Amino acid sequence: MVELLIKNGLIVTMDKDRRIIADGSIAVDEGRIVSVKRGHSGKNKPEEVIDARGKIVMPGLVCSHTHLYGMLLRAAPLKIEPPTDFSQILQRVWWPMDEAMNKEDAYASALISCLEFIKTGTTLFADTFSGPNAISGVLDRIAAAVERSGIRGIISYEATERHTHAEGARGTKENERFILKVKKERMHRVYGMFSIHASFTVSDELFKYVRELASRYKVPLTVHTSEGLCDLYHNYERYGKRTVERLYDAEVLGPDVVLAHCVHVNDDELAIIKKTEAKVAHNPMSNMLNAVGVAPVPKMLSMNIPVGLGNDGYIFDGFENIRAAFLLHKVALRDPRAISAMEALEMATIRGAELYGLENELGSIEPGKLADIIIINPERAPTPVIPESVTGHLVNTVSGNDVETVIVGGNVLMRDRKILSMEEEEVIKTARKSAERLWQKLGAIRKR
């Protein structure tokens, strides 16, 4: 018996051959894809059928780097002197926000972020939380929100020694505790990893300690890398090295490491990333917002460095981020060939899964893989949506609002834009309550 059959769809598989199947069908049983083919003839009658005629079927999007709590800062009317560079953005915006967060704010931000991800087609994300006054046990609250939502999340606490060495140790201990819990309880949709804030807030001793733990537990390790010039200058002044050079000398890098941003890296550093098989999470919209520069992603791709696509806690619509990645490098290099539509899609699907060692389970529509699938209604498209044009439409036409159905592990989380896994109004109410408290604490609004 097949539990679910999706039929008559235009399937963008993102498999190794990047096949696009017109009038295709996908059979799902026990949460996994059992067949992908043209037509839908079969001996077994499915328990549920979704007719995707006239619609695009593709893998759920992967957000390779995010900060879920950033959702609560959206449109906040902060009464601060406008920052002039990335260091001031951290000091005047993000670090005060970090210190104002409590565990229930973390839960509320995770809930609303997961809701936004579902509504715009993202089924897996990698998150790092930061909150020096809410460390112990905070990952349990974030995990509870992810479990409630029905999507998948790789979550971690962002260890930093910004205040004290003890703070870094506490953050690392929280990650270790949670990773052990995930393994013990055999969680299927929530994963743990280690996270380090950035090299300009962390000592070599903490780098080496976290590196040893990530190897011991066989989980990913992520670190912000050369996002702003402050990171590069810090390492030059204190160590006489560029950022990636310092990470290499500290023996941090390896195939399980995801470097977020990598804006200010040179050719020698790219060669190190390639040599160590580390990977990169690209965050084009956040990089534009913070005016930090443009990462050399086309060069990374030419070197076969795996690059995924993240939002860094800014815009959660994955299709907006795909479009930004597609366009940003063209104007930066003044070359319309810089990033192809397929390369942009790869970063948001199969490459994103590859960053976290999940490419054999997620990121494409293939038999044996987990059934994380989205269905898009392209009715607004002004031109034909056919196999030859569908990639172009996904990059240039589609937005998250066109996502109609979201399936994770064979479970339908959204059908015809109706969220089934959570009460949408309740989630929004919870988020607004937390945001109002935070905004008051940050001096953005007055207490009522």
Q: Quick one: tokens of 74? A: 């959206």
Mean pLDDT, range 391-398, rounded to an integer: 98
Task: Tell me how far the alpha carbon of residue 429 is from its chain's centroid.
Answer: 24
Which helix (H) or strand (E) covers residue 282, if one does? strand 279-282
First to last CA, the chain: 57
**To which CATH superfamily is domain 61-355 assigned?**
Metal-dependent hydrolases (3.20.20.140)
Mean pLDDT, range 298-319, rounded to an integer: 98
Q: Whole-angstrom Cα distance, residue 388 to residue 220? A: 37
Contact 399, 381 (CB under 8 A): no
* pLDDT tens-digit readout, 231-275: 999 999 999 999 999 999 999 999 999 999 999 999 999 999 999
* pLDDT tens-digit readout, 341-371: 999 999 999 999 999 999 999 999 999 999 9
pLDDT at 41: 66
Local structure of 23: helix, strand or coil: strand
**Which ranges of 17-132 does DSSP label H, i.e. alpha helix?**
86-89, 95-100, 103-120
Residue 42: pLDDT band (50, 70, 90) is: low
List, by residue range, all CATH 2.30.40.10 domains of the chain: 4-59+369-416
**Which ranges of 186-242 does DSSP label H, i.e. alpha helix?**
204-217, 229-239
Q: Whole-angstrom Cα distance, residue 13 to residue 82? A: 45
Burial call 88-108: b when 16+ CB within 10 Å, e when fewer: ebbeebbbbbbebbbbebbbb
Mean pLDDT, range 294-300, rounded to an integer: 98
Local structure of 156: helix, strand or coil: strand
DSSP E strand stretches across 94-220: 122-129, 152-159, 190-192, 194-198
pLDDT at 1: 72
- Is it true that domain 4-59+369-416 has CATH number 2.30.40.10? yes
Instruction: Give the DSSP letter of residue 15.
Output: S
Q: Is pLDDT of 443 > 80?
A: yes
Considering the chain, what is the average pLDDT of its residues?
Answer: 96
Mean pLDDT, range 172-177, rounded to an integer: 98
Nearest to 329 by CA among 298, 283, 287: 298
Residues 6+ apart with CB under 8 A from 409: 31, 188, 189, 370, 371, 372
Which helix (H) or strand (E) covers residue 382, if one does? none
Q: Whole-angstrom Cα distance, residue 139 to residue 136? A: 8
pLDDT at 447: 79
pLDDT at 40: 77
Mean pLDDT, range 21-26, rounded to an integer: 97
Q: Whole-angstrom Cα distance, residue 265 to residue 201? A: 18
Nearest to 225 by CA among 267, 253, 189, 206: 253
Mean pLDDT, range 186-191, rounded to an integer: 94
List, by residue range, all CATH 3.20.20.140 domains of the chain: 61-355
